[in-house]
Structure 1
Amino acid sequence: MKSIRLDGRSLTRAQLVMVAHGAPVALDDTALAGVARAADFLAEQVRREEPIYGVSTGFGSNADRLLGARPLRDDLPGATPSGRSLHEELQVNLIVTHAVCVGEPLPADVVRAMLCIRINTLLKGHSGIRVQTLQALAALLNSGIVPVVPALGSVGASGDLAPLSHLAIVLLGGGEAFVDGERMPGAEALKRAGLEPVTLSYKEGLALNNGTAQMLATGVLALQKLDALLDTADLAAAMTIDAFAGRLGAFDPEVHALRPHPGQVEVAAHLRELLAGSTLADIPYHLVPRFRPWLPSSWDTAEAQALRFDIGWDWVPSDQRHGREKFYTRFRPFRGGKKHQPQDSYSLRCIPQVHGAVRDAVEQAKRVFEIELNAVTDNPLVFPDRDAEHVEEKVISAGHFHGMPLALAMSYVKAAIPVLASISERRLNKLVDPSTNDGLPGFLIGNEDATESGYMIVQYTAAAIVNDLATRAHPASVYSIPTSANAEDHVSMGTNETRHVLSMAEDLGKVLALEIYTAAQALDLRVDMINAARDLARRGDAEALAAKVQGGPASDRPGRGAFVDEVEGLCAELAACEPFHPGGIVAEAHAIVREAIPFLDRDRALDGEVAAAVRLVADGALLGVLPRWRVPTSSPVGEGRAP
């Protein structure tokens, strides 16, 4: 993999994802010159005994105490000097006492992204770290060492102090790390990579552990995952629309020009492209038969007997057409699977409004995170080139470590995830419910012997996940708990926010996978049922078709002639149709599903199939069928540099 050149100014989300997944980094020489100027400036101020918070003074209530040359106890008889100056002691203690996270280690991609972010922000030249220390941090990343960073312990201000201390402590030869998946002491990890522990200088502990790297890394990886899931959600919805033989008017570009929210307009365009070429969408209502259970007498040919269903319509007699005469001059008087109404339910008709709103939430988060990727987030900030008389004007304490911009952006996304999962589950439920699935069999299974459950419990699993996502959607950012003896009296909790979003994104993918799994079955049934009606009509035997219609008068009853004429009209219209099929892209996605999971003709164990559907979504196997608007966020940019 090509190196990603870091300069503190142009790191992109796509590049960060590449580093997270194994790409090495290289440091920009011009940026390193700025790093050296800041470090030299701090060293000069310490030589001049200028009081600088956290550099030549203690922290918190010790901010008014200038550090001496060595520990006071070194002057006691029999004392054993530590061999470190108080300036180094201050920075080392800041790392070793702050590495106190608990829980399972963060995944390797998150930790690698954290390292990359920390290197990039330090390259801005406002943190006071030395070039050699920054190079050692890059060497740690490039060597494949992954520090063990337990997941829990950051309140998101002052940045991610505890998690970043777990990164930095390995640089000092402490803590633990993974090397090729093997967990070991940090010193052993450095030794295996041929690296030496680092000795910290002025402010370097602060530079290493003061910032928003964990929440930023986790958030960027979550947004990358959500990018793919948003596209997957549109694809799942399109497959469901085709399975319903749905109505496309709700996605018309002129309609959405009247309410041009960007995500809404984008999703409507996606659906039009995904469904292009479909002969199921917008099909005349009367051509769609409804399911009837298979019986030995259902079909009269050997080929048709292999079908797992029967089909049928109801005939609307002339005395029931009063007030709807114009309607029945346009549509034939047969009720099959599709209701005679011009609109689908909200879970289909309002896909652009719902999916689009979720897209807009994600896009807002992207804007925030892209700013943060090339921001300085530690404290105090060093301005070595500033034209100022006093050192206090060149080393300024501020609050860039506060994660609230990221936290609130993620709160918005966090609330959006259950919304997208919920509408997906509603579509799935609509597919399996015979009262809402427009003429498909209940639970999408023939069940002629009354022994089969089909896809019934698949909806239960989706419902359970949606409920779980909803209960996890409470924003962490609204609940600050003060720290550091109330010196840090308002914190962001942004790290919890982004960690929640990443795990919730994975579960969202499972719901979408269940919809795709179910929609593929429904689509097969819908296509087979309509084409079975077409095949029957193409035999030219209107009587055979009439046998599928309920409500027609007996042969010796008045009105029989009108009934036969209308059945013959239905027969001719069906016979004139080309074979029915979904949209081209939907068909490609359906074929991928069918390569992994066969059609469910009768009940069987579904656990392996559900797992396979989840893998198809998690691995992005379906995204390759998407048209030009799909651009993977992890794709390389030029020669490993930002454009």
Structure 2
Amino acid sequence: MEVIQLDGHTLTTTQIDQIAKGYAQVAIAPRALERVLASRARIEKRLTDGHTIYGVNTGFGKLSDVQIAEKDNELLQLNLLRADAVGVGVPLDTAIVRSMMVLRANALAKGYSGIRQETLQLLVDLINNKVHPIVPSQGSVGASGDLAPLSHIALVLIGEGKAELNGHVMSGQEALTKVGLTAVRLQAKEGLALINGTQAMTGIGVMTINEAERLGYVADMAACLTMEALQGIISAFDADLLAVRPHAEIAMVGDRIRKWLNGSQRITTQGAVRMQDAYSIRCVPQVHGASWQCFDYVQQRLQTEINATTDNPIVLENGEVLSGGHFHGQPIALAMDFLKVGVAEWANISERRTERLVNPQLSGLSPFLATDPGLECGLMVVQYVAASLVSENKVLAHPSSVDSIPTSGNQEDHVSMGTTAARQARQIVHNSARVLAIELIAASQAIYLERAEQQLAPTTRKYLEIVRSFCPPLRGDKAIGEETEALANYLLNSNDILAIG
């Protein structure tokens, strides 16, 4: 199995995806370990010299002016984890938890957090031994770090909390014992170093952006199959036409669709069957392209964040320990809200294409793509499902980052709500996968009724076979909710569409 070196500087979203899904292990890079040791030495020297350091020998938040006796420094860190591990709600997926763990380890490996080597190594060992803390999904306001979610991870390091191992949930101590690991006893600053960061929102964000990338390609492919089903006009995708509005993403989508439809006998030109297609087909480069612009922005923000230090206080290389605001999740909160809008638009326009496929007044095909309309309903209510999902997306797309509720006695008087934005973005991505699965099934059914399989382009015909492996053509009414869900899961997780692209 591949071992990915964590150095705090070079981790990528693709590598996180591999680690989160259990396809790779991790190790601390030697140079990063040197920085970790040096950072720890700076903290210990400051304490020996009698300095007051926030969160090390003071209370937290509004209690930062309370001095802590040296004999209580360890207890302070222990109390912090216990007090902050108060998350609620459905636990986060295992892949998300693994993503959070590797992101926190990578941030600590940068060498600005004052963590000890043995504490960081135990976090790495948990990842490699597939010990997964149980992390409730709700409870972070996205500033002061993702305190509640990260505290649930940190508890397992000290032999508390709960963890999942080999499909079984058990106490943190039992999980450590089963894999031959020993809990750590936290020293000064280590509890704060483990939980003061944006790794919950970023962990969710990374897994979501990876799914969204696949979905963007799927959206382009779904448009292609719908165009073939409805004899769409390729003229609107002409390279010279698109070039007069020089957004790179418009050209990219146009190029991709022309490439995928190359060789199709179903595609028409302007005036051959009709003069213009509806916007949901004719404007695919502009609408899909704008969502790709959104995707690119969010990916850039996440790529920066996964190799950033998001602690407070920061242990600088010159020996100073300074308090700042790097824990504040606003850069990721805004990015995830933007992603919500971009992905929701892939679903919005997809649902409109599905309507054009099933509505006989728009398609000229059998009503609702039924083989015996009237006796059969066909895909009538499948379109209802798509409409329901895009409506839900519109509610979820309301920006979380515009909200802020003061916390910690008004010391923390502006927060990001970035973790909420990230959770909502992931729900929108999953909803949109289902909407696109519905369009693909509808296009497949239309092509079946038109007996047009052999007229498709070689690339789209290949993808049609994938769709039909989940949902074969309907020769009568059938409940296809499970087939739709299975196809949607495939769209979110398979790299086949990336290979085609």
The two structures have a TM-score, normalised by structure 1, of 0.75
Deviation at 1:605, TM superposition (A): 4.0
Match of 2:433 in 1: 509
Deviation at 1:44, TM superposition (A): 1.4
Match of 1:380 in 2: 313
State the secondary structure of the residue aligned to 1:97. Answer: helix
Deviation at 1:255, TM superposition (A): 1.5
1:445 aligns to 2:319 (yes or no): no
1:454 aligns to 2:385 (yes or no): no
Equivalent runs, 1:227-242 vs 2, <5 Å: 227-242=213-228
| 1:293-344, Cα deviation, whole Å (9 max, x unpaired) | xxxxxxxxxxxxxxxxxxxxxxxxxxxxxxxxxxxxxxxxxxxxx4xx3210
Match of 1:366 in 2: 299
The unaligned stretches of length 5 or more in structure 1 are: 70-84, 287-337, 387-393, 529-578, 631-643
Change (3 A) 1:63 1:603: closer
Counterpart code for 1:494: G
Deviation at 1:476, TM superposition (A): 0.8
Which residue of 324, 330, 342 corresponds with 1:398? 324
Equivalent runs, 1:520-535 vs 2, <5 Å: 520-528=444-452
Deviation at 1:619, TM superposition (A): 4.7
Match of 2:195 in 1: 209
Change (3 A) 1:488 1:172: same
Equivalent runs, 1:58-77 vs 2, <5 Å: 58-69=59-70
Counterpart code for 1:497: A
Match of 1:81 in 2: none
* 2:62–2:411 CA contact under 8 A, matched in 1: no
1:154 aligns to 2:28 (yes or no): no
Which residue of 94, 100, 107 corresponds with 2:80? 94
Match of 1:603 in 2: 477
1:591 aligns to 2:465 (yes or no): yes
1:605 and 1:373 mapped to 2: Cα distance?
43
1:582 aligns to 2:445 (yes or no): no
Deviation at 1:244, TM superposition (A): 1.0
The two structures have a TM-score, normalised by structure 2, of 0.96
* 2:39–2:317 CA contact under 8 A, matched in 1: yes
Equivalent runs, 1:79-228 vs 2, <5 Å: 85-228=71-214
* 1:592–1:622 CA contact under 8 A, matched in 2: no
The unaligned stretches of length 5 or more in structure 2 are: none
1:479 aligns to 2:403 (yes or no): yes
| 1:179-227, Cα deviation, whole Å (9 max, x unpaired) | 1111111111111111111111121111001000000000000000001
2:454 and 2:170 mapped to 1: Cα distance?
60
| 1:550-597, Cα deviation, whole Å (9 max, x unpaired) | xxxxxxxxxxxxxxxxxxxxxxxxxxxxx9712111111112233443
1:32 and 1:522 mapped to 2: Cα distance?
59
Counterpart code for 1:116: V
Task: Calculate percent identity across the aligned residue pairs.
Answer: 42
Deviation at 1:247, TM superposition (A): 0.7
Counterpart code for 1:587: R
Deviation at 1:612, TM superposition (A): 4.6
Counterpart code for 1:471: V
Match of 1:17 in 2: 17
Change (3 A) 1:170 1:446: closer
1:606 and 1:98 mapped to 2: Cα distance?
44
State the secondary structure of the residue aligned to 1:463. Answer: helix
What RMSD in Å do the two structures reach over aligned CA positions? Answer: 1.8
1:55 and 1:367 mapped to 2: Cα distance?
34
Counterpart code for 1:489: D
Match of 1:37 in 2: 38
2:237 and 2:219 mapped to 1: Cα distance?
16
Match of 2:2 in 1: 2
| 1:105-125, Cα deviation, whole Å (9 max, x unpaired) | 111111111110111111111
State the secondary structure of the residue aligned to 1:25. Answer: strand
Change (3 A) 1:475 1:271: same
Deviation at 1:242, TM superposition (A): 0.7
* 1:49–1:56 CA contact under 8 A, matched in 2: no
Deviation at 1:361, TM superposition (A): 0.6
1:413 aligns to 2:339 (yes or no): yes
State the secondary structure of the residue aligned to 2:409. Answer: coil
State the secondary structure of the residue aligned to 2:375. Answer: coil
2:134 and 2:224 mapped to 1: Cα distance?
42
State the secondary structure of the residue aligned to 1:184. Answer: strand
Change (3 A) 1:425 1:49: same
Using the TM superposition, name which of 506-515 and 588-597 deviates more: 588-597
Deviation at 1:482, TM superposition (A): 0.8
State the secondary structure of the residue aligned to 1:3. Answer: strand
2:341 and 2:64 mapped to 1: Cα distance?
41
State the secondary structure of the residue aligned to 1:415. Answer: helix
Match of 2:419 in 1: 495
Match of 2:229 in 1: 243
Change (3 A) 1:580 1:198: closer
1:104 and 1:367 mapped to 2: Cα distance?
29
State the secondary structure of the residue aligned to 2:450. Answer: helix
1:618 and 1:372 mapped to 2: Cα distance?
23
| 1:113-163, Cα deviation, whole Å (9 max, x unpaired) | 111011111111111111121112111221111001101110000110111
2:271 and 2:142 mapped to 1: Cα distance?
56
Deviation at 1:607, TM superposition (A): 4.0
Q: Report how many residues are paired.
A: 500
Change (3 A) 1:603 1:196: closer
1:485 and 1:436 mapped to 2: Cα distance?
59
Which residue of 249, 256, 279 corresponds with 1:263? 249
* 1:232–1:622 CA contact under 8 A, matched in 2: no
1:495 and 1:3 mapped to 2: Cα distance?
29
| 1:432-469, Cα deviation, whole Å (9 max, x unpaired) | 111111x2121112427x41211111111111111111
1:137 and 1:606 mapped to 2: Cα distance?
43
State the secondary structure of the residue aligned to 1:24. Answer: strand
Deviation at 1:250, TM superposition (A): 0.9
